[in-house]
Amino acid sequence: MNTKPDDVTLALWLEDELEGDEFARVEAWAATQPDQLAAREETRRWRKQASALLPREEEPPYADFFNSRIRSAITANQTVMPQPREKRAWWRAAWFMPATAAAGMALAFWMGTRAAAPEPMTVAAATPVIYTPYNEVQAKYYSGNNGSSTVIVLDGVSAIPDTLDFHDTASVSPGSEIDSTASNSDGTPAAVTQ
């Protein structure tokens, strides 16, 4: 095996959990990787030390004894909560909230009458911004007479083949020859005269 195994397979190999052909392939790869062999030996040494120090299983304490200790700790830590007095705060009185709301509305109305009238907004002439998602595509914008038409010429886009059928996706009503697009030899739109 010349390629490094994936992380899951390598982790299984380090834990000595691979078998069969997969184990043989990883062993062949690891033979050329001294750092991986050292990591596996370190894992084996750590596992041996942990198993010597930790017991294999341990009996839990008796459930009744355990539950009675918890119950006694809970009752020892419980304190009597004082009952809150039914006292109504002055600001929650029935007259205070509506009076405050009315005063706020009156203040807002008064401040609105004192505000200066906004200056009229000037609108700049709308010039189109042409965006192309690819840097190699150049777009040029041409506006017709009286803003009646717009032509955008894209340079750097492959031509649409004549065999492509747009009948199902677009509907163009047959019109006069004047509705067709014409271009000059340099690619700019030709002037259409009537």
The string of pLDDT tens digits covering residues 100-123 is 889 999 999 888 888 777 777 776
Give the integer Cα–Cα distance in Å for 45 and 107: 79
**Which neighbouring-strand residues pair with 154?**
139
What is the mean pLDDT of the segment spanning 75-103? 72
Whose tokens are 């008796």? That residue is 62
- Specify the pLDDT at position 143: 80
Tokens of 58: 């341990």
The string of pLDDT tens digits covering residues 121-138 is 776 666 667 777 788 888
Q: What share of the chain in percent tops pLDDT 90? A: 6
Tokens of 158: 């492959």
Q: In the chain, where are the structural domains located?
A: 7-53
CA distances (Å), origin 135, targets 128, 130, 154:
18, 12, 12
Kindly give the interhelix angle for 7-14 and 20-30, rounded to the nearest 10 degrees.
Answer: 90
User: 3-state class of 142 per DSSP?
Assistant: strand
Sign of CA dihedral 165, 167, 172, 174: positive
Q: pTM score > 0.85 for this model?
A: no
Contact 1, 28 (CB under 8 A): yes
